[in-house]
Amino acid sequence: MSAVVVDPDELKRYSFTVWNYKMGEMVSLMIHIGDRLGLYKALDGAGPLTAEQLAEKTGLKERWLLEWLRGQAAARLIDYHHGEEDTFELTAVGSKVLADEIGSLAFAAGAFSGQTPPETVDKLVDAFRTGIGLSYQDLGPNAAHRTERMLGPWTRQELVPNILPALDGVTDKLERGAVAADVGCGGGVALIAMAQAFPASEFHGYDPSQHAIDRCHAKVTELGLDNVHLFVSGGESLPRAPTYDFLITFDCIHDMTQPAEVIASIRRSLKPDATWLIKDIRSQPEFRDNLRNPLLAMFYGFSVSACMSSALSEPDGAGLGTLGFNPAVAERMTREAGFERFRMHDFDDPSNLYYEVRP
User: Which of 184, 194, 148, 153 lies closest to 350, judged by CA?
Assistant: 153
42-74 as b/e: b if 16+ CB within 10 A: bbbeeebbbbebbbeebebeeeebbebbebbbe
8-99: CATH topology is Arc Repressor Mutant, subunit A (1.10.10)
pLDDT band at 1 (very low <50, low <70, confident <90, very high): low
3-state secondary structure of 102: coil
Q: Determine the pLDDT at residue 83.
A: 87
Q: Determine the pLDDT at residue 111.
A: 87
8-99 and 118-358 share one CATH topology?
no
> Could you please report the per-residue DSSP string of 19-45?
HHHHHHHHHHHHHHHHHHTTHHHHHTT
pLDDT at 295 over 70: yes
pLDDT tens for 80-129 read 999 889 999 999 999 999 999 988 989 999 888 767 888 989 999 999 99
- Which residues are paired to 89 by β-bridges? 79
- Residue % of the chain over a pLDDT of 70: 97
Q: Determine the pLDDT at residue 136.
A: 80
Q: Determine the pLDDT at residue 145.
A: 60
Lowest mean pLDDT among 133-137, 149-153, 331-335: 149-153
pLDDT band at 2 (very low <50, low <70, confident <90, very high): low
The H or E element spanning position 248 is strand 244-250
pLDDT band at 142 (very low <50, low <70, confident <90, very high): low
Q: Determine the pLDDT at residue 150.
A: 75
CA 54 to CA 67: how far, in whole Å?
Answer: 12
pLDDT band at 137 (very low <50, low <70, confident <90, very high): confident
pLDDT tens for 20-64 read 999 999 999 899 999 999 999 999 999 999 999 999 999 999 999
pLDDT tens for 341-352 read 999 999 999 899
Q: Taking residues 215-235, what's their average pLDDT?
A: 95
Query: Is the CB of residue 246 less than 8 Å from the CB of residue 159?
Result: no
pLDDT tens for 231-254 read 999 999 999 999 999 999 999 999
Q: Determine the pLDDT at residue 112.
A: 87
Mean of per-residue pLDDT scores for the chain? 93
pLDDT band at 167 (very low <50, low <70, confident <90, very high): very high
Query: 118-358 sits in which CATH class?
Result: alpha beta
3-state secondary structure of 104: coil
pLDDT tens for 312-327 read 999 999 999 999 999 9
Q: Determine the pLDDT at residue 143.
A: 67
pLDDT band at 144 (very low <50, low <70, confident <90, very high): low
Query: Is the CB of residue 323 less than 8 Å from the CB of residue 290?
Result: yes
The domains of the chain are located at 8-99, 118-358
Tally: H helices and E strands in the chain: 16, 9
- Residue % of the chain over a pLDDT of 90: 82
pTM of the model: 0.87
pLDDT band at 284 (very low <50, low <70, confident <90, very high): very high
